[in-house]
Amino acid sequence: MASTLGTLRRRPSSTRVFWASSLAAVSLAGLYASARAAEQLVVAAPAGCDVQSVDWSYEIGLDARTGYGITGTRFVDVPDACEGVRVQVLYRADGSIVRRSEVVLHDGTVDLLGVLEPAGTRVTDASWVVLPD
């Protein structure tokens, strides 16, 4: 029976080291970008406006090139304390923000995207934040 204590370990290939360090660098860049985005989006809602109580939904449409996708947002059941508050709606495609728009909250407010560039961009996510006064 041969002993494995005396065997030498092989050094990882330079390709493996390159990819491991690249993955670590991309991970750190992602963490940094997430932290920066969180700093920019953290704003306080006006006193009395509970943004959790605002009901909102996506407007969905059919595009001949991309199929079904988000075409806008609709705000319904806006509490009195949130009426007239300015918000920014962020639309994303493949995780990247493709459009930012600003609207004022009222019952029934609809924010429509219109034409996106490049043509054929399919929006798959939307979110909104309250803007400071």
pTM for the complete prediction?
Answer: 0.62
Long-range contacts, stretch 108-113, CB < 8 angstroms, 24+ apart: 108/74, 108/75, 108/76, 109/74, 109/75, 109/78, 110/59, 110/72, 110/73, 110/74, 110/75, 111/72, 111/73, 111/74, 112/59, 112/71, 112/72, 113/70, 113/71, 113/72
Q: Please tell me what DSSP assigns to residue 94.
A: T
pLDDT higher than 90, residue 55: yes
Distance of alpha carbon 13 from alpha carbon 94, whole angstroms: 33
Are 54 and 62 within 8 A, CB to CB?
no
* Token duo for residue 83: 């009426």
pLDDT of residue 29: 60
pLDDT digits (tens, 9 = 90+) for 74-123: 999 999 989 999 999 999 988 899 999 999 999 999 999 887 766 778 88
Residue 4 confidence class, pLDDT cut points 50, 70, 90: low
